[in-house]
């Protein structure tokens, strides 16, 4: 008897050649999965455009000349980073004047307080008249009011000085620079435009015939990636309360709790809105074999060996599962690793018809 390890044994008896199958070794056992029916959401898919939630144009809040620029278009900026500086000579001089005015008002206030205390003491002894006492109180209150006014002027001047340094309100990308070094700006002059990539949403236009179904489902997922195999579940939906008068569609904003790194404002994506439920036959996506125009899977036969069978598949579902539209029945087992199954199929010996050996 001549044996071939792991694959079978060939017996020569009376000139007749027979092939018998041996059990696979323990380390050659294929991992299998059963085709099962699952209830999955019924979805209606529309095109959408990714938008940045935080998108703004930073404007000047004080007058002056742009003296320094630290960022340009397409640069990434961290929140609080200095975007540019405006020449602060005039604002610094204004702050110095306001500070000097406050010091003067405080000195006058201290003098008025001392005078008020002196007159109040002698007024108790009857040495001064009531009119002089009233005058001292008026002078004190007036001096104290001038101190408050000087404090407000100083705060305003210091605020104008701070406005000469322009900071980023959030982390993001600079999309447009509207000024150059040496250019004069006034309060309200646009300086830079930027978008944040940390918080994104998708804008979708839904036909009026489907808006109520979409609104009642109130669930959606954003589909993206080269093969549309990746998706992220929407955190919340915002429905516009009116339709577009030209297209007769309703705008829906799909918010994501955390935008994937591969999504950027302006990109086209697919948005799947849940409109009900349906039953589908599902198998692991990694068990499917793609060979040119042929799609299939290795089905485990009654003899325990894998056989390649052509399938018609549908959409990829969450959890690495894919719909099987035809070619497979519920309860059948398939090889999860198609490469290993293909190797074993090639190594599997084929039975031969009995005959005389030469």
CA-to-CA separations, 128 to 121, 139, 311, in angstroms, rounded: 10, 16, 112
Mean of the per-residue pLDDT values for the chain?
85
114-166 confidence digits (pLDDT tens): 999 988 888 887 788 888 888 999 999 999 999 999 999 999 999 999 999 99
Whole-prediction pTM value?
Answer: 0.57
Q: Counting Cβ atoms within 10 Å, is residue 53 exposed (0-12), middle (13-18) or buried (19+)?
A: middle
How far, in Å, CA of 166 to CA of 292, rounded?
Answer: 57
pLDDT attached to residue 14: 36
Residue-range domains of the chain with CATH: 26-38+280-347 (2.40.420.20), 44-53+196-276 (2.40.30.170), 58-194 (2.40.50.100)
Total Cβ atoms within 10 A of residue 66: 21
Looking only at the bridges linking them, the beta strands covering 268-284 and 289-291 are unpaired
pLDDT attached to residue 241: 93
Query: Do 348 and 303 touch, CB atoms closer than 8 A?
Result: no
């Amino acid at each position: 008897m001549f044996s071939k390890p792991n694959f079978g044994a060939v017996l020569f008896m009376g000139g007749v050649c027979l092939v018998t199958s041996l059990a696979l070794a323990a380390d050659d056992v294929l991992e299998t999965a059963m085709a099962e029916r699952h209830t999955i959401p019924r979805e209606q898919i529309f095109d959408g455009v990714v938008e940045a939630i935080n998108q703004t144009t930073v404007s000047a809040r004080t007058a002056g000349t742009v003296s320094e620029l630290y960022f340009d278009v397409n640069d990434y900026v961290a929140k609080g980073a200095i975007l540019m500086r405006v020449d602060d000579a005039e604002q610094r001089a204004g702050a110095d004047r306001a500070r000097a005015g406050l010091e003067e008002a405080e000195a006058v206030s201290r003098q008025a307080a001392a005078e008020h205390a002196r007159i109040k003491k002698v007024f108790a002894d009857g040495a001064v008249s009531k009119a002089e006492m009233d005058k001292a109180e008026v002078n004190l209150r007036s001096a104290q009011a001038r101190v408050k006014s000087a404090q407000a002027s100083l705060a305003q001047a210091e605020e104008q000085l701070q406005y000469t340094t322009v900071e980023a309100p959030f982390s993001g990308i600079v999309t447009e620079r509207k000024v150059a070094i040496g250019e004069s700006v006034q309060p309200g002059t646009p300086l830079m435009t930027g978008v944040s990539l940390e918080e994104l949403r998708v804008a979708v236009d839904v036909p009026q015939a489907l808006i109520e179904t979409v609104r009642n489902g109130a669930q959606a997922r954003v589909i993206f990636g080269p093969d549309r195999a990746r998706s992220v579940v929407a955190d919340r939906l915002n429905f516009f309360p009116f339709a577009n008068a030209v297209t007769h569609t309703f705008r829906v904003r799909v918010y994501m709790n955390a935008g994937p790194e591969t999504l950027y404002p302006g990109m086209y994506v697919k948005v799947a809105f849940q409109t009900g439920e349906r039953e589908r036959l599902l198998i692991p996506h990694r068990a499917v074999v793609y060979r040119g125009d042929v799609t299939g899977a290795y089905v485990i036969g009654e003899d325990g060996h894998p056989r390649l069978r052509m399938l018609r598949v549908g959409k990829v579902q969450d959890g690495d599962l894919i719909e099987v539209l035809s070619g497979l029945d519920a309860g059948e087992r398939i090889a999860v690793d198609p490469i290993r199954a293909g190797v074993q199929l090639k190594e599997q010996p084929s039975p031969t018809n009995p005959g005389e050996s030469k």
